[in-house]
A and B are shown apart, each in its own frame.
Chain A
């Protein structure tokens, strides 16, 4: 939806004040309209207090595009009446939206296609395979991009970056103040592909199936839920009672909802349908599977009467996800019009793509961040002074030049787009004098040691970081040994401090703010018998920090959260467990005629929002 961080913040504050009865409904509506237009009001009230019998479709569409000031006054009078007919949940509806932006998106979109823009097929060249689309198994950018189209979830997050929380199957939610009891009201408009309605039973079944199968998808839910957590008071209400308080449940609840009847019908030997769901779908999403050739191409076609409609001027009739691993082939295919969208271009391709009249390259910065992780439990990096030396020794500007300026240097310990980022904490810059000063405080004031820099073989951008380390540290008489390894090797090495290297180049990223701290620097995640994984391979340990992480995950009070996040960032900055290098851009190459692209923080695209307009073939999108 394109609301800025500021607007999100303001709407959140407004809602907060309203729920505390500090402002009247009238004031709320007027203020919200001023921020985001008609749609904002409807969506806000719809998500947090309206019934599913929403206002007519037409006004919903105009909301997203126009600021419609003239319409706003008239609509503003209608909106409150709709909202007024429903109970807004009373005192318990203190829905502090946590880090979520108050949604400005409507529930139902345009269901009638524009006759001037008939739906067309799109060819997408993806760099990665999707070996399984079982919604309880695991997710990565390719799997996620496809399951998102085949299934619906309770919410949609792809409306922009930072990710808003827009209604999908859930139209209204409430949370208790201690963030342990949550109630979700579902829409009655949603239908599975076999025609049956999406009910609360399906939600319960899907969540429980994931919890039972205990595959990677369950990792964010298992700590806070068990098989008794989800209850179904009626056919369109889901109640979740968490075993531990968790304020970010909305973002963690991205479970695609499956059709229990269909899944159970394909059960073999009690596998809960796992074998069938690897390459078949049982969803309610905007697309279904036309053909599925693993390792080669996945063909999806649109569901004409998809219940939620289509947000753009038109939509796709279908799309094919072709697996093209070579970026050169992707680029050549885009230029020769064989592909319409390609997803893993490199920084040096951007200029070449933009130079073509029919193409455009979109460069966005999201969550994918590269850290040089330092082993805090091993010499020499167990010495804080040595780590500070490294932080000031790295040549950040050179690296930026090497990647052709398509990268964002970090100005803190997490990217600045992440919620609760505290700009006052600051980052590091190259300062060779300071570096020398810190080095002289260590045992190796004159250098004379060799350290290993481990990275994933074949990844040129990781190799380049290593080569800069090599060049810089050579100035201090320290030798860097570049060690390329295959990925499984690296993951195994990260189990314990002894087997882990001194320097390890790791790329990571999380959509939920607390995960940045919980997965990387929370010591119980590595200081245990089973060891750690690639996230924790800096082996940072600080009891005070651990307490702060626990605190921030269980509270839903905005002020506390802001304070604690700042404190955590300060601790990490002072202790330098890792050297944050840069945020890697997501670069997508598109034919100009492909419309509707919106960056939402991930590598891929949301096909539901796209359509093809041949008249725009030579019109580059305005920035």
Chain B
């Protein structure tokens, strides 16, 4: 630690100080990234995701027919085949450009997925860590509650909720968040329970740290990796569940371009006007596949057991 004292003397040493303090963590991360890059499929997945995020953010500026996503229709341009009259992906039954709507739908898809998971993770992690840390009857009752929510497949509950509140993408997102948190609660509960017995937690407790601080500053950062892995794999499923709700008829409100509703609307025109369903389906495939691959790769990286 003699180097430390000499570094402290130099100006601009703040960054180096931080680097020194977190040296092991930085090395770990470097190693992890190296391993991650080695897995070609996961890298592909990451590329897909990055492209999607870029498209979602910049789409509205370079899309050829942005007004087709906000209500304009061109009835005479109905069902143009792809690459006709300047429509790369063709048009739908109202003459709207499928390409523009798919690109603009990226925003809706990513946005919905993020919200669903953010809400689900917030609720689930909180409940799970409280249950796992305190144990006893708090644990029992919270876990029974979680069991109850897990006991029914999400789509039934989501259906009941959207049937009660009415169709609309916000309601669908709410419904799906409510059905998604139990998975995270269960995951976190188990991990917190075993983490509780570890030495570092013992150490924190002995110096009088409050439970909240222990949980949030110490335990959670150590188990966050499994949550991240689950989240990245769930992202795809979240978007697919939204599409399933759209298929049943309780999804996004028109004319919002949403991949699931577009696929659902277009399915009655298969196989004749195949482009209506296929291109949104392809976009969804890229997104879900990308996130799944990413999650796979992350899990390979974080999970020591498969690090072989």
Contact = CB atoms under 8 A, between A and B. Distances in A.
Chain B associates with chain A: yes
A123 interface: no
A289 B269 CA distance: 36
Residue among A457, A470, A483 with max Cβ neighbours from chain B (10 Å): A457
B78 interface: yes
Nearest to B253: A482
A73 interface: no
Contact of B73 (A468, A480, A483): A468
Interface stretch (A10-18, A85-93, A394-402, A603-611): A394-402
15 contacts: A327-B268, A328-B267, A328-B270, A348-B272, A399-B75, A402-B75, A402-B78, A457-B249, A458-B248, A460-B268, A467-B254, A470-B71, A470-B255, A483-B253, A486-B167
Contacts of B254: 463, 466-467, 482, 484
A346 B268 contact: yes
Contact of B75 (A328, A395, A482, A483): A395
B268 A471 contact: no
Best-surrounded residue of B72, B167, B248 (most CB of chain A within 10 A): B167
Nearest to A331: B268
Contact of A484 (B72, B76, B167): B167
A458 B270 CA distance: 17
A466 B94 CA distance: 12
A75 to B, nearest CB: 51
Contact of A460 (B76, B166, B265): B265
Interface in B73-105: 73, 75-76, 78, 93-94
Given A348-B268, A464-B93, A482-B255, A471 B73 contact: yes
Contacts of B270: 328
A448 B153 CA distance: 45
Nearest to A481: B253
B71 A471 contact: yes
A38 B277 CA distance: 56
Contacts of B273: 348
- List the 4 closest pairs (A to B, CB-CB), nearest first: A458-B249, A398-B75, A401-B75, A470-B71
B131 interface: no
Interface in B238-283: 248-250, 253-255, 265, 267-270, 272-273
Contacts of A348: 93, 268-269, 272-273
Nearest to A480: B71
B167 A402 contact: no
A444 to B, nearest CB: 19
B163 interface: yes
B71 A474 contact: yes
Contacts of A474: 71-72
* Most chain A beta carbons < 10 A, residue from B73, B249, B253: B73
B75 A467 contact: no
Prevailing SS type, chain B contact patch: loop
Contacts of B73: 398, 402, 467-468, 471
Contacts, number: 69
Question: Which label, helix, strand, loop or mixed, suits the secondary structure of the A interface?
Answer: helix
Contacts of B168: 484
A332 to B, nearest CB: 9
Contacts of A441: none
Contact of A467 (B167, B249, B255): B255
A489 B166 contact: yes
Contact of B268 (A328, A457, A482, A483): A328
Given A352-B272, A402-B75, 12 more contacts: A328-B268, A346-B268, A398-B75, A402-B93, A457-B250, A468-B75, A471-B72, A474-B72, A480-B71, A482-B253, A484-B249, A486-B166
Contacts of A352: 272
A22 interface: no
Interface of B: 71-73, 75-76, 78, 93-94, 163, 166-168, 248-250, 253-255, 265, 267-270, 272-273
Contacts of B78: 401-402, 404
Contacts of A214: none
Nearest to A345: B268
B228 to A, nearest CB: 36
A485 interface: yes
Contacts of B265: 460
A209 B111 CA distance: 58
Given A463-B254, A466-B254, A457 B71 contact: no
B76 A401 contact: yes
Given A464-B93, A471-B73, A484 B253 contact: yes
Nearest to B269: A348
Interface in A352-371: 352
Contact of B163 (A397, A463, A486): A486
Contacts of B250: 457, 486
Contacts of B163: 486
Contacts of A485: 166-167
B306 to A, nearest CB: 42
B65 to A, nearest CB: 13
Contacts of B268: 327-328, 346, 348, 460
Contacts of B94: 402, 464, 467
A297 B167 CA distance: 31
Interface string A320-342: 00000001100000000000000
A346 B268 CA distance: 8
A483 B94 CA distance: 18
Interface string A398-437: 1101101000000000000000000000000000000000
A467 B71 contact: yes
A327 B268 CA distance: 7
A483 to B, nearest CB: 7
A372 to B, nearest CB: 16
Interface string A220-249: 000000000000000000000000000000
A458 B167 CA distance: 10
B182 to A, nearest CB: 26
A398 B76 CA distance: 7
Nearest to A469: B71
A138 to B, nearest CB: 23
A327 B265 CA distance: 12
A226 B163 CA distance: 40
Nearest to A400: B75
A470 B255 CA distance: 9
Contacts of A484: 166-168, 249, 253-254
A457 B254 CA distance: 10
A489 B168 CA distance: 14
Contacts of A399: 75
A271 B249 CA distance: 38
Interface in A434-490: 457-458, 460, 463-464, 466-468, 470-471, 474, 480, 482-486, 489
Nearest to A464: B94
Nearest to A395: B75
Interface string A299-312: 00000000000000
A464 B95 CA distance: 11
A488 to B, nearest CB: 9
Contacts of B267: 328
B96 to A, nearest CB: 9
B162 to A, nearest CB: 9
Nearest to B76: A401
Contacts of B166: 484-486, 489
Nearest to A458: B249
A483 B163 CA distance: 14
Contacts of A471: 71-73
Contacts of B255: 467, 470, 482
| Listed residue (A328, A464, A466, A484) with the most chain B CB atoms within 10 angstroms of its CB | A484
A466 B254 CA distance: 9
Contacts of A483: 253
A579 to B, nearest CB: 18
Contacts of B75: 395, 397-399, 401-402, 468
Nearest to B246: A458
A398 B73 CA distance: 9
Nearest to A355: B272
